[in-house]
A and B are shown apart, each in its own frame.
Chain A
């Protein structure tokens, strides 16, 4: 009896801690939620107000005069950088998975897969430092000017090529971090597709490309989608690497892909010590509100990914059930 209760307590502690974290955030951010209202997610301007004036009383809450919090530019920055990361990572990840599953075999496949998965083991701050020292100058001097010349007629690729700190650099860096998730998950799924399926396709005269593209891949589309969601969840929460290369834009939306941006996670880190300067405390609570919004988005996406994996399974359908 006591063994079962202990097990129940330990097992229950994990979902309870998830609920506790969300509850803590919601309680701590409640004054900010009340003060900011729904305008929080549509207003474009993060303003701590006049820190050197005396706090004023607005609707029963003490805040600095002029304080107004809005995170539209953060939401846009987060979504755009994640979108670019996926646009780069999905083709590369799918290509790598197909290569590993179909084009190499035996110990070569094992070793190359090992190194692809090792990319996920690099801490994100290391990616950030590499991005700061290597990627930013490279993009600024060698990539952006050519993009402006070649694709400048498209509005988002036009305009000043900037200094390397910005949306495209952050997106490329994020894609490096999420490619292993897509490649590894998809490779496992492709490998476990039954051999008779491949043999049947080849017996009908399909080329290797047609076999992969028309027969094997459609069988793993659901696994691919859930892998994309997992990668999306990782990219949304990515803090340090983006903080170091994004340029830390404040209060404006990017007009082209080279412009600086800010993401929600990176913003909380970079603004924490500024927020502590607010004697009324509203700024720190508004940061907690950003954290709450980010947690909810991240949990919803990760939950959807896990549910998809459970419902559709990590492996392809058994032979004969097509």
Chain B
């Protein structure tokens, strides 16, 4: 009996001491945006291969959680598609919003028979769908944009995000900037008070949105570009959106880069800016910076690890290379924006 107890103690001691060897690793927790999550999952193995002293754990929990856990220091890297508001920056001094890449958002739908075509939609029509004015798929407003397409007389089921979401932020900004009525009544944010639409569904995370679309005929949802593989595999439709110049565009490298060229110059030093509804005939209207929300005050090893990782991530030869960007449909930061990001990264100490 005593012998068994002694043996158990020795074994436990051995386990504890062997754990000491791993304590030398810096443990970094990244949490937040499900739109940035697929890219982080590509970055982390590639980075930690060369830097074995860092262990990065990734989570896809929504931009809202990313921001709040970065502020409360539960997570070292908060991933967010939304920059923090002025009130949040005032309340939490010493937080940086560092763009790492540029992403975009698709509008997907599930209309049996029409998923193969790209329906044309605009900001005002989408605002009408999400606030209940446009109830049926064959509504005059949709038919006007899609002449010649046989639209079914079925109720539209708008799907929105229940969690605090950067995708909600950029989608509601597109609606706000393109539709004065929406801007006044609902506005934009990582969470908004969605108008009452009978049958409207809430889903959690981008994967939840894809799933809700898959299972619900005649539904429509806003999904991040990094989930294009999933929406294509599920044979969901993707809409062409009307940009500020009145042209209908799909999100691809050309249209996103056109929008970046038109708007990136107005990026301020703290890099909190909206790139939504950019001017230009080829610009895609829903693009955004993917932010890492980071506290400037970090323990010294953590600061060094974070600086090294972020520098790697925005380096066009490393994390910002074609290989990573095209895998998720993102676009790398233009050189002058990358320079601004580098200045912010240097502020971590």
Contacts and interface: CB of A to CB of B under 8 A. Distances in A.
Contacts of B163: 270, 273-274
Given A136-B215, A250-B200, A273 B193 contact: no
A289 interface: no
A47 B196 CA distance: 12
Interface residues of B, number: 41
B112 interface: no
A252 B187 contact: no
Interface stretch (B6-14, B17-25, B82-90, B326-334): B82-90
Contacts of A276: 64-65, 68, 164
A276 to B, nearest CB: 4
Interface stretch (B48-56, B201-209, B302-310): B201-209
A66 interface: yes
A252 B193 CA distance: 11
A312 to B, nearest CB: 43
A276 B65 CA distance: 8
A251 B193 contact: yes
A277 B191 contact: yes
A276 B165 CA distance: 12
B162 A52 contact: no
A233 interface: no
Contact of A255 (B61, B85, B198): B198
Nearest to A137: B215
Contact of A164 (B195, B202, B215): B215
Interface of B: 61-62, 64-65, 67-68, 85-88, 91, 154-155, 157, 160, 162-164, 187-204, 212, 215-217, 219
Given A53-B85, A270-B202, 17 more contacts: A44-B196, A48-B189, A50-B189, A163-B215, A165-B216, A247-B201, A250-B160, A252-B198, A270-B162, A270-B204, A273-B65, A273-B163, A274-B191, A276-B68, A277-B64, A277-B68, A277-B164
Interface of A: 44-48, 50-55, 66, 136-137, 140, 160, 162-165, 247-252, 255, 259-260, 262, 270-271, 273-274, 276-277, 279-280
In the A-B complex, the 6 residue pairs with the closest CB atoms = A248-B202, A252-B196, A163-B216, A47-B193, A274-B191, A51-B189
